[in-house]
Amino acid sequence: MMLSLGLIVLPIALLAQRTDSQSAAAYPDAWPAHYGDHSGRRYSPLAQINATNVKTLSLAWIHRATAQEGDNVGGEYKAGDPYYWGGPQSTVTIKATPLMVNGVLYFAAPDHAYAIDARTGRAIWHYFWRTRGGIHIGNRGVGMYGNMLFFETPDCYLVSLDAATGKERWHKEIADVRQQYFCTPAPIIIGRHVIVGIGGDSLDVQGYLEAYEPETGERQWRWYTTPQKKGESGSETWPDEYSMTHGGGMTWLPPTYDAELNLLYIATGNPNPVFAPQSRQGDNLYTCALVALNPDTGKMAWYFQTSPHDTHDWDSAQVPVLIDGQIDGRPRKLVAQAARNGYYFLIDRTNGQSITTVPYVDFMNWSLGVNAKGQPINNPAKDAAVDGVLVSPGSATNWPPPSFSPKTGLLYVGTSQSYSLQYLTDTDERPEGYGGGNVIPGGGGREGYIKALDYRTGKVRWRHALSEGGAMGLLTTAGDLLFGGDGSGNFVAYNPSTGDPIWHAGLAANPSNAPITFMLDGRQFVVVGAGDSLYAFTLAR
């Protein structure tokens, strides 16, 4: 008994010593990194829960996260200070992907970090951050290195906690909330680098990605998503220095990483001003792009812009999924992205060369096609206009992560064939902020699906219609299961080969994060967040 316990616990205990890129993929029983490993595939080799027995999948526990002040409190807010662009929230919505290491689940929400017992769902500790402000739209989770945790706050501090106690180790300001930055990403740990992104596209600030030393919190490098001076690479795609240094390109989606190539893949956000491009003619590099960076130096290895001169708030903040596949019979290192602009991109991740660019939505009117580099060509007739233009897709997908199963060769994505009327509201020669916006349907015109794309061609192999919703977090397993939602409050296991639902559980809210899976004491668990609660399922015994 002791021996078997030791065998189970030992690797995870080792893992806790070094929860970084090299160890993440080596411990499939845990969920030690944001995407499980750093590939972005969100595929688990666990198969105890499988297509044969999933109908006996049963509730193990529910944990309801509190929005009250926790055991440990931090923050830079001082009594009497104003709140900048947002304030404390009275409720919690769990959008974070939890980590599961050594029997403990670690997750976060805006201003909160939590540790709970993964076996029972009982609270271990709770850390509360007194905010100075920032948009409290969500938090994608924590990063872990050894016994150190890292998470970001809406007012843009990087906070490091002791994983055992939830006590604060240090915090650093990573962006200025007063300039309307707000921070949602989960830090990603690569070697001795805590990789940290930022958000905030309301006031034409500039995007960057940073790395911090985990022990000391010292900043190691910063990579700006736009050039800083004329003459720098990419500056030829902006009219002037003023536009490029106010050009946006946020880094609000956690990157993926290839340890062999030692390249980090970051998908950058939309340029600013968002819908009013008259002051930023050009392609606006490196916004709306997939960029490969060296995590030790922050230097760019290559880029591929998925929406040159974006005028529709496409962002490109969708997961760059690393696939080791076969193209024309040859093994290739690939990166795939189902983007919000409705295109599926398949790229050689060693050099950024396009292999396939193809729409995965049924109808698209904002693009004139694809150029020789595999990039979409913006249709200027569909740029936001004072009298309105009808644009489709309105938003083909968003940050909720897709999943790729090497067993089926399919990339699964929650998507919406949506439309929006886009209006230009700021006709000034120097527009500010969004400068326009969407009017979106309250009724028809936003049909949602889970689609399964052949990773080589982007062709839709199957689709499953959703009664509501579209973008959703997905998980595939070696048990021939695809876990996701249905937009109507159900957590569902689908057949990954056909899209047929084969198990479901009705939750108190729609799944609001991406599900994870892990093994503890010989039992596989699947955990999903919905509203303010985490739900854990395991096979009935």
Partner 1 sequence: MLRSGLVCPAIICLAAASVAAQAPQGGRGRGLDPGVERLRAFDPAAVERGRAAFGEKCSACHRANARGGEGFTGPDLIRSVLVLQDANGQQISTHLQAAHKPTIALTPPDTSDIGTFLHREITYAAERTNYQLQFAMTGSAKAGETYFNGAGGCSRCHSATGDFKGIGSRHDGPTLQALIAFGTMGGGRGRGEPGGGSRTARRATVTLPSGETFTGVLVRLTDFDVTIRDDVGTPRSWLRSGNVPKVEVTDPLQGHIDLLAKYKDSDIHDLAAYLATLK
CA-based radius of gyration for the chain: 22
Distance, CA of 437 to CA of 421 (rounded, Å): 8
User: Any contact of residue 428 with partner 1 (CB under 8 A)?
Assistant: yes
- Binding residue for partner 1 (CB under 8 A) from 231, 329, 331, 442? 442
User: Per CB under 8 A, which of residues 149..188 are in contact with partner 1?
Assistant: 176, 178-180, 184
Q: Which stretch binds partner 1 (CB under 8 A): 5-13, 286-294, 439-447, 451-459?
A: 439-447
Kindly determine how many residues on this chain lie close enough to bind partner 1 according to the rule CB under 8 A. Answer: 87
**Tokens matching residue 363:** 């109808």
- Binding residue for partner 1 (CB under 8 A) from 419, 462, 483, 525? 419
Taking the complex as a whole, the smallest distance from the CB of residue 435 to partner 1 amounts, in Å, to 8
Give the number of C-alpha atoms closer than 13 A to the C-alpha of residue 309, restricted to the C-beta side: 21
Nearest to 156 by CA among 167, 172, 170, 140: 172
- Binding residue for partner 1 (CB under 8 A) from 513, 524, 533, 538? 513
Contact 204, 433 (CB under 8 A): yes
Q: Can you tell me whether residue 318 is helix, strand or coil?
A: coil
**Tokens matching residue 241:** 């220095």
- Binding residue for partner 1 (CB under 8 A) from 119, 169, 172, 430? 430
- Binding residue for partner 1 (CB under 8 A) from 215, 437, 454, 463? 437
- 356: which strand partners? 346
Known catalytic residue at 81 = no
**Tokens matching residue 499:** 């899209």
Q: Which contiguous run of DSSP H or E holds residue 129?
A: strand 123-130
Q: Which is nearer to partner 1, 253 or 300 (CB)?
A: 253
Taking the complex as a whole, the smallest distance from the CB of residue 272 to partner 1 amounts, in Å, to 10
x-or-dash pattern for partner 1, window 247-266, by CB under 8 A? -----x--------------
Q: Which is nearer to partner 1, 266 or 472 (CB)?
A: 472
Contact 162, 180 (CB under 8 A): no
- Binding residue for partner 1 (CB under 8 A) from 423, 454, 495, 497? 423
- Could you tell me where the beta strands, DSSP code E, fall in 69-122? 72-75, 99-101, 104-109, 112-117
User: Per CB under 8 A, which of residues 282..311 are in contact with partner 1?
Assistant: none
Contact 154, 134 (CB under 8 A): yes
CB-based contacts of 47, cutoff 8 Å, min separation 6: 477, 478, 479, 480
Contact 116, 124 (CB under 8 A): yes
- Binding residue for partner 1 (CB under 8 A) from 93, 307, 476, 517? 93
User: Per CB under 8 A, which of residues 451..510 are in contact with partner 1?
Assistant: 467, 469, 471-473, 485-488, 490, 492, 501, 504, 506, 509-510
Distance, CA of 105 to CA of 187 (rounded, Å): 16
Distance, CA of 294 to CA of 301 (rounded, Å): 7
User: Any contact of residue 202 with partner 1 (CB under 8 A)?
Assistant: yes
Q: Can you tell me whether residue 4 is helix, strand or coil?
A: helix
User: Per CB under 8 A, which of residues 302..361 are in contact with partner 1?
Assistant: 313, 315, 317
User: Any contact of residue 42 with partner 1 (CB under 8 A)?
Assistant: no
* List 29, 204, 258, 313, catalytic entry: 313
Q: Which is nearer to partner 1, 222 or 373 (CB)?
A: 222
Q: Give the active site residues.
A: 313
